[in-house]
Each structure stands twice: as structure tokens, then as C-alpha cells.
């Protein structure tokens, strides 16, 4: 058996074995398995576990948040959706490609806005 078993990996990386399984379920580090299903951590996984630990300690970041960025990097549609939403951040409409759509939406909602006033105004 080449590769460390889970408790060995835990002691050399500073994680608990419980957390190594959690990290795996979070999609972050999945070591290969032996024929009988034992997790086998190679040098690469061990290194990544250490740097992951550093990452979480240095910045105020959670496992789940790193997992989410990983998910983004795999799901291109999701990434575009989120990035797209962020890209439309409040700024002045000098932006060429977005501006047409934005103007259209603004016009549309100017009317809705007026309607909303009528509806929500209680008198």
C-alpha cells in the first residue's frame, strides 16, 4: 500500500480524520482508494491539505466557500450566471454592450415603478 491512510494523513496535515472525510465530501480533496476501499493519501494530497489549511487560517474563509468556488470552476453556466450578476454592478451607463439592455430594463421598470406606487400607496 503506497500512500498514507487517513489517520496518518491526519497527523501529518493537522486535520482530524473526521474532517478529512468532510473535506472529501465537500468535493475539495478526494484521495484514491485501495482495493478494499481505504483512502490513500499521496504526497500531492498531503501538500494540498496543508495549503488548504493555510488558506483557511490566513484569510477568513470557510471550507464551504472554497468548495463553492470549486463548484463555480466546474459549472461554467453557474459561473457565468453569478459573474454576470456581479458584472451588472451599479455604475454609470457608459458601458456599451450592457447599456442597451439596461436601458430597456430601466424603461420597462420605470412604468412598473409608477404602477407599484399606485398599488402600494394606501389611499
Chain residues in the site for DNA (CB under 7 A):
1, 5-8, 16-19, 21-22, 26, 34-39, 62-64, 122-123
Q: What residue ranges bind a second copy (CB under 8 A)?
A: 4, 7-8, 11-12, 33, 35-37, 43-48, 51-52, 55, 58-59, 61, 65-66, 68-70, 72-78, 81-83, 85-86, 88-90, 96-98, 101-102, 105-106, 109-110, 112-113, 115-120
32: which DSSP letter? Answer: E
* Chain centroid offset of residue 46 CA: 22
CB of 99 to DNA, least distance (A): 28
Q: Give kind and range of the element (H or E) at residue 58.
A: helix 43-58
CB of 22 to DNA, least distance (A): 5
94: which DSSP letter? Answer: T
Looking at beta carbons only, is 21 or 50 nearer to DNA? 21
Looking at beta carbons only, is 76 or 94 nearer to a second copy? 76
| Rg from Cα positions in the chain | 24
Distance CA 27, CA 23 (A): 7
Q: Which three cell numbers stand for residue 89?
A: 454592478
Amino acid at each position: 500500500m503506497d500512500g498514507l491512510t487517513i489517520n496518518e494523513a491526519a497527523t501529518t496535515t493537522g486535520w482530524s480524520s473526521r474532517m478529512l472525510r468532510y473535506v472529501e465530501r465537500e468535493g475539495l480533496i478526494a484521495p484514491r482508494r485501495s482495493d478494499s476501499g481505504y483512502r490513500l493519501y499521496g504526497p500531492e494530497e498531503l501538500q494540498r491539505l496543508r495549503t488548504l489549511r493555510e488558506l483557511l487560517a490566513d484569510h477568513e474563509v470557510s471550507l464551504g466557500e472554497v468548495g463553492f468556488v470549486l463548484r463555480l470552476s466546474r459549472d461554467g453556466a453557474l459561473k457565468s450566471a453569478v459573474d454576470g450578476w456581479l458584472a451588472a454592478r451599479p455604475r454609470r451607463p457608459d458601458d456599451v454592450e450592457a447599456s442597451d439592455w439596461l436601458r430597456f430594463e430601466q424603461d420597462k421598470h420605470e412604468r412598473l415603478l409608477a404602477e407599484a406606487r399606485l398599488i402600494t400607496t394606501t389611499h
